Structure formats: C-alpha cells, structure tokens
C-alpha cells in the first residue's frame, strides 16, 4: 500500500502549484508524530463519511476533531462528476464547512467553497489539463486575500509561479521549477520574494522500495536556514521504515505498520515515532509518538 512513486501521473494532468515536490514532503515529514494520535473513519454505501480525530501531546490538553462528508455522484451524461459537502467540528475552535463541485473529467475544473474561523469565507477554482494548470482563490474576512498560481508542464520540466495579494501588504510571489528524470528522481527549486529565501529539494528513487530525499533552505534570516536528509524503505506492501536528520541536530525515526487483510472489513494502521535532539540529549529524553488509524 505504501508507494515510492509520485501519485500524480504527469503524462495525464499537470499538477497544481501546491502539489509540486509533494513527494519530497512525504519522505521528509509525513509519518513523524508526537504525542498520542488516533483517527477513526467509516464510509457508508450512500457515500457518507464519518471521521473522528484526536491528539494528546506533552503538556497540551487533548484536542478532538469530528468530520462529516456527504458525496453525491452524478450520471455519466452530466458534465458534473460529483459534489460533496462537509462539516468539521473542533473541540477548540469554530465550526467549518466545505462544499466541492468536481467537473474534472470533461472540463478539468474543480470548485470549492469553504467557511471557517468564524468570519472567513474562501472560494477556490482549480483547472487542470495535460500541459498546464491554474488555481485561484479569494478569502473574504477581516483582511481580504487573493492567491493565484499557474503551472506549465513539459516532458520532464515544470515551471510555475504564485502571486499573493493581501490588503495592507506588499504583493508577494513565488517562482518554482521542477525537473523529473523519469521515475528515478526529481529536483525542485522554490524562490520566495518574502523573507528572501530559496528552497531546493532533491528526491531519488534508488529502487521500488527505497527512496531518499534532501531539502536545503537558504534565507536572509540565519535562524531559518536548514538542511534535512531523509529516507524511507518499504519492507513489504504493509511495512514502512523512515529516518530523518537535519542541521539542527534532530534525528527522527518512524515505523508504520498496516494491517490490511482482505477478509476483514476494516483497515488498521499503527505508527511509532521517536525524535532525538542530539544537542540536548543529556537534558531531556527522546520524544515519543504513537498513532492509530482505523478505517471501516
């Protein structure tokens, strides 16, 4: 079940700006947890999804999130593929709503309307084709915000830019470039005008089971400069091992096990993580984390 390849098929659709270099983030960040985490989700035959999440960290009060989603499929003769509506309840915070209309199969469009943070409303429109993608969203609230991005794809190269306009602030932009050498690896570069930072990421698939990644961030702010190395190895289709080390002296280890027996009506995933701060290992013990995810 664990994949060491990009989920996005670049030959069919050009990814959105937020998806560029996504797999590097999965290798370097996903699966490393702290505290106690759990998630329970179930999907009915009518397309209704119920989900409950919880987290308890050291010195932090427990927090819970409940979510309900209803998916409405349309007939093949319609230009609409499906629509969904969701409600998200937080134990600490406001109620949020989200409605999505999917028209991707024929028009390449996806429209999303979200309401959150008591007084914020966000409208987003995404458009994807084989060689280009476009995304724009407007947030209405105390401070209105407009965010748009364009991605152009070639055989092995993606070139993209993002522009953000926010009331009372100078417009900001990001330029990105992603080169992928078939299925063996990729290099991603982000240049941010705000904070004067450059982020360079490298991903290499050594084999179908083993992947390595690195990320270097250079910023005008010395405290924000960082260098990270990570790797993940699939022992089999249900067992994943991960490790990461960064320039601050932090070492992270993770073990993820899935129990996905075809005879059972549910899927169970268990994750165990450890974070070791080498610089202060004598003052405090390694931080541990455990997660439990159940889907029925």
Q: What is the CATH number of the domain that holds 109?
A: 2.40.160.10
Quote the tokens at residue 285.
């013990």
With respect to residue 7, please indicate whether it lies within any of the assigned structural domains.
no
With respect to residue 182, please indicate whether it lies within any of the assigned structural domains.
yes
Contact between 86 and 68 under an 8 Å Cβ cutoff? The reply is yes
With respect to residue 8, please indicate whether it lies within any of the assigned structural domains.
no
Mean pLDDT, the chain, as a whole number?
Answer: 87
> Which tens digits make up the pLDDT trace of 168-218?
888 999 999 999 987 788 999 999 987 679 999 999 999 999 999 999 999
Number of folded domains in the chain?
1
Above pLDDT 70, what percent of the chain? 92
With respect to residue 6, please indicate whether it lies within any of the assigned structural domains.
no
Buried b (16+ CB within 10 A) or exposed e, 74-85: eeeeeebbbbbe
Question: What is the H or E stretch that residue 24 is in?
Answer: helix 22-28
Quote the tokens at residue 219.
């910023």
With respect to residue 203, please indicate whether it lies within any of the assigned structural domains.
yes
Quote the tokens at residue 64.
């819970």
> Which tens digits make up the pLDDT trace of 57-96?
776 778 889 999 998 888 776 788 889 999 998 887 778 9
Nearest residue to 186 via CA among 1, 16, 5, 3: 5
What is the full DSSP assignment across 39-82?
EEEEE-TTSEEEEEEEEE-TTS--EEEEEEEEEEE--TTSS--E
With respect to residue 235, please indicate whether it lies within any of the assigned structural domains.
yes
Q: Which domain holds residue 26?
A: 17-295
With respect to residue 266, please indicate whether it lies within any of the assigned structural domains.
yes
pLDDT value at residue 9? 42
With respect to residue 205, please indicate whether it lies within any of the assigned structural domains.
yes
Rounded-to-integer distance, Cα 227 and Cα 230, Å:
10
Contact between 163 and 176 under an 8 Å Cβ cutoff? The reply is no
């Amino acid at each position: 079940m664990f994949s060491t390849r990009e989920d996005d098929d670049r030959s069919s659709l050009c990814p959105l700006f937020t998806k560029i270099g996504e797999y590097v983030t999965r290798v370097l960040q996903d699966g490393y947890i702290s505290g106690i985490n759990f998630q329970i989700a179930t999907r009915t035959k009518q397309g209704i999804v119920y989900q409950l999440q919880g987290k308890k960290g050291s010195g932090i009060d427990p927090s819970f999130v409940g979510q309900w989603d209803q998916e409405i499929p349309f007939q093949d003769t319609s230009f609409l593929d499906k629509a969904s509506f969701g409600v998200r309840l937080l134990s600490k915070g406001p109620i949020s709503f989200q409605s999505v209309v999917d028209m991707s199969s024929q028009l390449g469009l996806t429209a999303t309307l979200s309401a959150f943070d008591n007084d914020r409303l966000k409208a987003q429109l995404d458009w994807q084709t084989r060689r280009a993608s476009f995304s724009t969203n407007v947030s209405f609230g105390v401070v209105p915000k407009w965010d748009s991005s364009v991605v152009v794809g070639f055989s092995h190269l993606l070139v993209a830019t993002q522009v953000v306009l926010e009331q009372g602030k100078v417009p900001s932009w990001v330029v990105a470039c992603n080169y992928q050498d078939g299925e063996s690896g990729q290099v991603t570069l982000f240049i941010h005008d705000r904070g004067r930072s450059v982020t360079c990421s490298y991903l290499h698939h050594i084999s179908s089971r083993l992947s390595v990644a690195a990320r270097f961030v250079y910023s005008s702010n010395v405290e924000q400069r960082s260098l990270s190395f990570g790797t993940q190895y699939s022992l089999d289709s249900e067992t994943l091992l991960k490790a990461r080390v960064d320039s601050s002296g932090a070492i992270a280890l993770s073990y993820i096990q899935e129990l996905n027996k075809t005879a059972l009506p549910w899927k169970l995933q268990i994750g165990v993580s450890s974070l070791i701060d080498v610089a202060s290992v004598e003052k405090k013990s390694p931080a541990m984390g455990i997660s439990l995810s159940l889907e029925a």
